[in-house]
Amino acid sequence: MKNSGILLVQCPDRKGLDATIAEFIYRYDGNILHFEQHQAGEERYYLARVEWDLDGFRLELKDFPGAFGPLAKKFGMNWRIALGSYRPRVAIFVSKYDHCLVDLLYRQRNGELACEFPLMISNHPHAQRHADFYGIPYYIFPVTRETKAQVEEQERELLESHQIDLLVLARYMQVLSPEFIAHYPQRIINIHHSFLPAFVGGKPHHQAYERGVKLIGATAHYVTEVLDDGPIIEQGVTRISHRDGLEDLVEKGRDLEKVVLSRAVRWHIENRILLYNNKTVIFE
């Protein structure tokens, strides 16, 4: 794990922003490892990610807000700071389909995802064998229309007790309520098995097959109150032909879903994503 600090900045674009940030870090003997910035939209809204080595940095991070605050106020910055060494605590939600779950577990164990999985939550027992294999607590909450509010409250209490930073819906086939989502703004990532905004809702492969499309896709996005309408983080596509039946579309789609979701989770936990309106800017 890197012993680095990460500064994420958003504000109206002005001359001298790059130089001001770089000079501030240099002032405390910081060595910049990465400095990426982007001007978004016609108004050229400024977004930046700066990562620097904390070895020899003469400012304690607990004192960073007090020192950086006046500069941030001068330029109207919306900003936050993160540690490169911090491993976010991620809860995985899953139903019956386990391909995305297994891929996430493998990548985390292999070191590709620098996070912790303190627990899994499901509305079915099907994926418990994977949780048992990796030694992760597995909680089953059957959901009905009548019990949905009560179940979500129990789930939220469990997430808070485990100090969860991020929720990943790895083919979790339940629609979360607006009340639940409101507690985790820009902290819930979902994988949708189509190339949004095409074929929203349930059974997108069936819709794609009936429409006769030549490309199918998968989309990882942040969850908002509007179904399948949150900011898109990553997408992937694969070509299909007239020879492919419905099951072929589903099989090819699952391969896409695994890769697309893992990329989105990695970029989030590495603090590489900034939101602008309903879009994402991703510093790879």
188 within 8 A of 182, measured Cβ to Cβ: no
Average pLDDT, the chain: 93
Architecture of domain 89-282: 3-Layer(aba) Sandwich (3.40)
Fold of 4-83: Alpha-Beta Plaits (3.30.70)
Q: Which of 228, 229, 244, 255 is catalytic?
A: 228
Q: What is the pLDDT of residue 181?
A: 97
Q: What is the pLDDT of residue 94?
A: 98
Residue 5 vs residue 194, higher pLDDT: 5
Q: Which amino acid is at 45?
A: Y
The CA distance from 13 to 276, in Å, is 13
Residue 27 has pLDDT above 90, yes or no: yes
Residue range 33-56, pLDDT digits in tens: 999 999 988 888 999 999 999 999
Residue 100 has pLDDT above 70, yes or no: yes
The CA distance from 66 to 2, in Å, is 24
Residue range 131-182, pLDDT digits in tens: 999 999 999 999 998 999 999 999 999 999 999 999 999 999 999 999 999 9
Say whether the peptide bond before residue 185 is cis (omega within 30 degrees of 0). no
**Lowest-confidence pick of 36-40, 56-60, 63-67, 249-253:** 249-253
Q: What is the pLDDT of residue 215?
A: 78
Which of helix, strand or coil describes residue 128?
helix
**In this structure, what is the dihedral angle of CA atoms 81, 87, 90, 96, given to the nearest 10 degrees?**
140
**Catalytic site residue 244?**
no
Residue by residue, DSSP assigns 141-209 as ----TTTHHHHHHHHHHHHHHTT--EEEESS--SPPPHHHHHTSTT-EEEEESS-TTSS-SS-HHHHHH
12 within 8 A of 45, measured Cβ to Cβ: yes
The percentage of residues in the chain with a pLDDT greater than 70, rounded to a whole number, is 97
Q: What is the pLDDT of residue 3?
A: 94
245 within 8 A of 252, measured Cβ to Cβ: no
Strand extents, DSSP E, 84-157: 89-94, 116-122, 138-140
φ/ψ (deg, to 5) at 3 = -90, 75
Q: How many CB atoms are located within 10 Å of the residue 161 CB?
A: 10
The percentage of residues in the chain with a pLDDT greater than 90, rounded to a whole number, is 79
| Residue spans per domain, the chain | 4-83, 89-282
Which of helix, strand or coil describes residue 250?
helix
The CA distance from 256 to 237, in Å, is 7
Q: How many CB atoms are located within 10 Å of the residue 207 CB?
A: 15
Residue 198 has pLDDT above 80, yes or no: no
